[in-house]
Amino acid sequence: LNSASPPARRKWLADFSECLFSFVIQLLPTQEELAVKEDVRKLLERLIRTIEPESRLLSFGSTANGYGLRNSDMDLCCLIDSEERLAASDLVTMLGDLLERETKFHVKPLPHARIPIVKLSLDPSPGLPLGIACDIGFENRLALENTRLLMCYAMIDPTRVRTMVLFLKVWSKRRKINSPYKGTLSSYGYVLLVIYFLVHVKNPPVLPNLQQMPPLRPIPKEETYLGGFNTWFFDDIELLRQRWHSENTETVAELLIDFFRYFSRDFPYGVGVASIRAGLLKKDSKGWQNDLSASRYNDARERNRFCIEDPFETDYNVARCVTKDGLYTIRGEFMRASRVLAARPERAILALADLCD
Q: Which is nearer to ligand CTP, 144 or 351 (CB)?
A: 144
Among 202, 194, 211, 214, residue whose Cα is nearest residue 154: 194
Binding residue for ligand CTP, selected from 23, 67, 153, 171, defined by CB under 6 A: 67
Binding residue for ligand CTP, selected from 73, 139, 235, 236, defined by CB under 6 A: 73
Q: Contact between 236 and Mg ion (CB under 5 A)?
A: no
CB of 75 to Mg ion, least distance (A): 5
CB of 355 to Mg ion, least distance (A): 23
Q: Contact between 62 and Mg ion (CB under 5 A)?
A: yes
Binding residue for ligand CTP, selected from 17, 55, 59, 72, defined by CB under 6 A: 72
Ramachandran angles phi, psi of 277, nearest 5°? -75, -40
Binding residue for ligand CTP, selected from 23, 153, 167, 188, defined by CB under 6 A: 188
245-274 in b/e form (b: 16+ CB < 10 A) is: ebebebbbbbbbbbbbbbbbeebebebebb
Q: Contact between 264 and ligand CTP (CB under 6 A)?
A: no
Q: Contact between 73 and Mg ion (CB under 5 A)?
A: yes
* Contact of 38 with 121, CB cutoff 8 Å: no
299-325 in b/e form (b: 16+ CB < 10 A) is: eebbbbbbbbbbbbbeeebbbbbbeee
Task: List CB contacts of 246: < 8 A, sequence separation 6 or more.
Answer: 157, 204, 205, 206, 207, 208
Q: Contact between 78 and ligand CTP (CB under 6 A)?
A: no
Number of residues that bind ligand CTP (CB under 6 A): 17
Q: Which is nearer to ligand CTP, 72 or 231 (CB)?
A: 72
Window of 29-37, 70-78, 114-122, 338-346 that interacts with ligand CTP by CB under 6 A: 70-78
72-105 in b/e form (b: 16+ CB < 10 A) is: bbbbbbbbbeeeebeebeebbbbbbebbeeeeeb
Packing angle, helices 187-196 and 163-174, rounded to 10: 140
Binding mask 7-46 for ligand CTP (x = CB under 6 A): ----------------------------------------
Q: Contact between 66 and ligand CTP (CB under 6 A)?
A: no
Residues of the shown chain interacting with ligand CTP in the complex, contacts defined by CB under 6 A: 60-62, 65, 67, 69, 72-73, 75, 143, 146-147, 169, 186-188, 318
